[in-house]
Amino acid sequence: MEKNLRDQSAPKKGKSLIQLIKFALVGASNTIVDMVVNTGLSFVLNLFFSGSWIVYAAKAVGYGCGILNSYVLNSRWTFREEHRRTVREKVSFVAVNLLVLLISFGLIYLFKNVLHLNEWWEGLGLPELIHKIVTGDLFCSLLATCICIPVNFVLNKLFVFKAKQQEVSES
Q: What is the pLDDT of residues 130-162, one digit of tens each?
A: 766 677 777 777 788 788 878 888 898 888 877
Same domain for 34 and 88: no
Average the pLDDT over 52-63 and give the result. 78
| Amino acid letter, residue 143 | L
What is the count of structural domains for the chain? Answer: 2
**Can you tell me the distance from the alpha carbon of 57 to that of 64, in angstroms, rounded to the nearest whole number?**
11
pLDDT over 50 at 64, yes or no: yes
Same domain for 90 and 77: no
* 48 phi, psi to nearest 5 deg: -110, -20
Average the pLDDT over 94-105 and give the result. 87
Average the pLDDT over 41-70 and give the result. 83
**Can you tell me the distance from the alpha carbon of 93 to that of 155, in angstroms, rounded to the nearest whole number?**
9
pLDDT over 70 at 38, yes or no: yes
Same domain for 2 and 64: yes
Nearest CA to 99 out of 61, 62, 67, 58 is that of 67
Residue ranges making up the domain that contains 63 = 1-81
| Amino acid letter, residue 170 | E
Residue 90's pLDDT is 83
Same domain for 159 and 141: yes
**Beta-carbon contacts of residue 65 (< 8 Å; ≥ 6 apart):** 33, 34, 37
Residue 168's pLDDT is 46
CA–CA distances in Å: residue 161 to residues 132, 155, 164: 40, 9, 9
**Can you tell me the distance from the alpha carbon of 139 to that of 105, in angstroms, rounded to the nearest whole number?**
13
Residue 136's pLDDT is 75
What average pLDDT does the structure give for the chain?
80
Same domain for 119 and 72: no
* DSSP at 161: S
Residue 129's pLDDT is 76
Say if 46 falls within a structural domain. yes
pLDDT over 90 at 31, yes or no: no
Q: Kindly report the pTM of this predicted structure.
A: 0.66
